Every structure is written in C-alpha cells, then in structure tokens.
Amino acid sequence: MKQSIVTIYGRTGCHLCENVANLLKPLEDSLNIKIEEQLIDGNKELEDLYGQLIPVVHIDGKHFSHFRVELEEFKAFLEKHRQHQ
C-alpha cells in the first residue's frame, strides 16, 4: 500500500490546526500516512482559498475536511480513497 500524504493547511498560532495535527500525527505509522503542515501565512493564493476555513485537510491532494477532523470519518475517507487509486 502506497503511503498517503495528508496536508494540513493552517496558520501560525491556530489552535484548531494544532488539534488536527496532534490527532493525526500519532497515527502516521499505523495508517501509513505522512503529515505535512502547510502554513498559509503570507501566501496570498492559499489565504484566498483557505483563509476562513482553516484547518483544511487534504489526502493526496484531495479535499477531506475543514475546521475539524472526526477520526472515524478520516479513516473511512482514507480507505475509500486508497481503493480508488
């Protein structure tokens, strides 16, 4: 199974962003995912896209969620995503 890249778009000092990262990082090995945090601070394009929605979570470039992550929904989305790769 190919490792999936989970990108968390957020801002410096965003507690919701930190919560999502803290929820998912311990699962990197068991779910075969790699967490990448992308700050949108100072990036006009990303701020325009995600400014009011952070944190925004993508799995291999596909939008999963914004504002929050429910772990069971994340796992189900990840599994479905992998079946369609």
User: pTM of the predicted model, to two decimals?
Assistant: 0.95
For residue 78, CA distances in Å to 23, 43, 81 come to 15, 28, 5
What is the C-alpha R_g of the chain?
Answer: 12
Amino acid making up residue 78: L
Q: Are 17 and 60 in contact, with CB atoms under 8 Å apart? A: no
The model's pLDDT over 2-19, given as tens digits with 9 standing for 90+, comes to: 899 999 999 999 999 999
DSSP 23-77: HHGGGHHHHTEEEEEEE-TT-HHHHHHHTTT-SEEEETTEEEEES---HHHHHHH
The model's pLDDT over 39-80, given as tens digits with 9 standing for 90+, comes to: 999 999 999 999 999 999 999 999 999 999 999 999 999 999
Give me the domains of the chain, ranges plus CATH numbers.
4-83 (3.40.30.10)
For residue 83, CA distances in Å to 46, 59, 80 come to 29, 13, 5
